[in-house]
Amino acid sequence: MINPDALEAGPYPNDLSPENVSAREPIRVPEHGVLGRMGQAPGRMGASPIPTSKKEKTLSDYLLDVQDLKIYFKVKAGHVHAVDGVNFAVKPGEKIAIVGESGCGKSVTALSIMRLVAQPPGEYAGGNIYFEEDDLLTYSEREMQKIRGGRIGMIFQDPLTCLNPTMTIGKQIMEGLQIHLKLSKDDARQRAIALLEQVGIPAPVERFNSYPHQFSGGMRQRVMIAVALACNPKLLIADEPTTALDVTVQAQILELINGVCAEFGTALILITHDLGVVAGMADRVIVMYAGEVMEEATTDEIFSNPRHPYTIGLLASVSRLDEARQGELRTIEGAPPDLLQPPSGCPFMARCYFARSICRQKPPLDPISGNSAHRKACWFDTTDPKERAYADRRLQARQAAQKAAVSEVTNILQGE
């Protein structure tokens, strides 16, 4: 892991030292301050309460608009900042993907939209979740029951633990239809059988009375999709829907989700850590790290022109079949920060080869020059050759130190 305290000391090439770089290209703090548009952190733990008023600007262009969302978990040692100031929006019919390594806050963000974060230990510490211009954080539990499964559907990671083992899959699909659409028992049964057929369950009439344990993993996931889509929701949240499935079944499930969303115009939030899935599914990508959004852009832009060092690291760690092997597979060294005591500045600073002292201040999530739809939370232009040279030299120095350490240990062992 990179030592932040050594950033200004070097050793670095003379022309790329932090002092010289700062003198050559000074960092300009935006007018809205180092904290950016997020402002001060609202919350129920010593800060201002959650605002309940609607946004000043119109929300009509968005189906979902998440603003400065903060989800904390109270433990004996303090509060875990699982989601810390997340902002994004989804248009009707749009498909977005939220990516990042395990523990970055993807699933908690998805659960918070459905208001399924257990309280306690979870706390909605701040922010707003606007769905069709209404703030879901102001809804009562009874009001949320009308939203879940009706206007917002969700596909969970493990269908075996989410489906009721004591109920047939037919009854579980019928339940939502009778509650939200007020269908009769016979109509709900016919609709459930049609859904099973639509998601590719063979012999749907016979399998209607089967229990979850009588299905394979891929078939259970198809049942979960049928449950989530039963009431034609406007938004579908898929939380790593292909986890623990083999490759061929994964492709079938993703093709099914993609086709259903296209057919009914359903907006999609896909939670995943598989960048290959993202490339073929999403219109737009949100990259999360340590509970915060690091970068947001269209899918093509993220893959062809990544601007945040973390996004660059993620893409570099994926093997390419269309290129010759150039050496060892790249990794992102180090570990994510302790979210019990999150850093006051950029959370990726300790693992970043572009980092300098300015990174001790949190960068705003601002548009890059020339593309207002591409936003990144980084002080530096990672496409600048001088910035790249600075990062490459730090990486080479790190690799040289590692090789020296390995050589030293080897010599000691051989000497014994």
Taking residues 46-55, what's their average pLDDT? 39
- With cut-offs at 50, 70 and 90, classify the pLDDT of residue 406: confident
Q: What angle do CA 42, 99, 131 make, to 5 degrees?
A: 50
More confident position, 182 or 280: 182
Taking residues 261-286, what's their average pLDDT? 87
Report the percentage of the chain scoring pLDDT > 70: 83
**Do 206 and 125 meet the contact criterion of CB atoms below 8 Å apart?**
no
pLDDT tens-digit map of 362-374:
999 989 888 888 9
Beta-sheet pairing, 284-289 with 292-298: antiparallel
What average pLDDT does the chain have?
80
Give the pLDDT of residue 13: 36
pLDDT tens-digit map of 76-118:
999 999 999 999 999 999 999 999 888 888 999 999 999 999 8
Give the pLDDT of residue 326: 66
Taking residues 143-167, what's their average pLDDT? 87
**Do 64 and 129 meet the contact criterion of CB atoms below 8 Å apart?**
yes
The yes-or-no verdict on residue 251 having pLDDT over 60 is yes
pLDDT tens-digit map of 169-209:
999 999 888 888 888 999 999 999 988 888 888 888 989 99
**Do 373 and 304 meet the contact criterion of CB atoms below 8 Å apart?**
no
Cα dihedral 8, 13, 14, 15 in deg (nearest 10): -100
Question: How is residue 53 written in tokens?
Answer: 């008023």
Give the pLDDT of residue 322: 65
Give the pLDDT of residue 11: 36
Contacts of 219 (CB under 8 A, 6+ apart): 201
Beta-sheet pairing, 267-272 with 235-239: parallel
pLDDT tens-digit map of 55-64:
444 556 889 9
Determine the Cα–Cα distance for residues 61 and 65; give it in Å rounded to an integer.
10
**Do 223 and 159 meet the contact criterion of CB atoms below 8 Å apart?**
yes
- With cut-offs at 50, 70 and 90, classify the pLDDT of residue 230: confident
Beta-sheet pairing, 122-131 with 235-239: unpaired
| The model's pTM | 0.78
- With cut-offs at 50, 70 and 90, classify the pLDDT of residue 133: confident
Report the percentage of the chain scoring pLDDT > 90: 26
The yes-or-no verdict on residue 32 having pLDDT over 60 is no
- With cut-offs at 50, 70 and 90, classify the pLDDT of residue 15: very low
Other beta carbons less than 10 A from residue 257's beta carbon? 25
Other beta carbons less than 10 A from residue 4's beta carbon? 18
The yes-or-no verdict on residue 24 having pLDDT over 60 is no
For residue 277, which of 261, 307, 296, 253 has the smallest C-alpha distance? 253
